[in-house]
Amino acid sequence: MKTTYRDATRAAIRDAMQRDDRVFLMGEDVGSYGGCYAVSLGLLEEFGPERIRDTPLSESGFVGAGIGAALGGMRPIVEIMTVNFSLLALDQIMNNAATLSHMSGGQFNVPLVIRMTTGAGRQLAAQHSHSLEGWYAHIPGLRILTPATIADARGMLWTALQNPDPVLIFEHGSLYNQAGDLPDDAGAVDIDTALIRREGADVSLITYGGTLGLVLEAAERLAEDGIDAEVLDLRTLRPLDDAAILATVAKTHRAVIVDEGWRSGSLSAEISARITEHAFYDLDAPVGRVCSAEVPVPYARHLEQAALPSVDRVVAAAREAVGTHG
């Protein structure tokens, strides 16, 4: 059936709430307003205010409440409006949700799912536009998911809710209007492995989330020049699927990592290091990286677009990796 990323995400929440009475959704404006991105539109009328709970503007407060609910046996889905605002709850996420299982010797688990919007490209300026999922991927005790497709938006949530430990799902804001086909029997999907989205032999383009579309477009443009690019969608940033990363590098012998985060200390740097550590002798060229400019994301559209990864920049990096320019 035809659907959108937004509607697939809503369908995933509805399905989880129908299947498990312990599941509830909480966050800013998720109820009567229908969600800041209209993801929860209609769910309040369907499930009532006990299970679709509007919260005050206090990320630390309602994330902490979600942790408590998870410890008490519930299966909360906490929605944070944007990744930038999640920093107000960083103490709760890092010092509590991520650590309680370890600090209690496995006696207490925190089966909490936190959803948040990430990424730029929508002229929402610096406080609403950054890609900080790489920061969270640095933290042991968390699982980090980045659904880039409608099928993953529909299928990752239920699997995440079965996890005994906290899971953070980063939904790129540019994807909500993305339309496509979803099988009528679509359901839970694997959250452990990366997926090859395009087979290729000349260079591996490694990416995730909101940049998958532009990377696939870049691969098609490279094909016009006779360069056969393979596209790997990481899907899960912690734990990284090292086997899939190393397998694609062993196949093509070249890699370009596309990451909307900043280059310094980025997820792309970690992936590059792992490739160098474990597949150095498979490489025929240095690992390339395409990241955002190291500035707060600008508001002006032409500056915002100049700061972000683009098809042109990915094509140029891939051409450099295979030794062709122009």
Catalytic positions: 59, 128
User: How many of the other CB atoms lie within 10 Å of CB of 230?
Assistant: 22
> Contact at 8 Å (CB) between 82 and 117?
yes
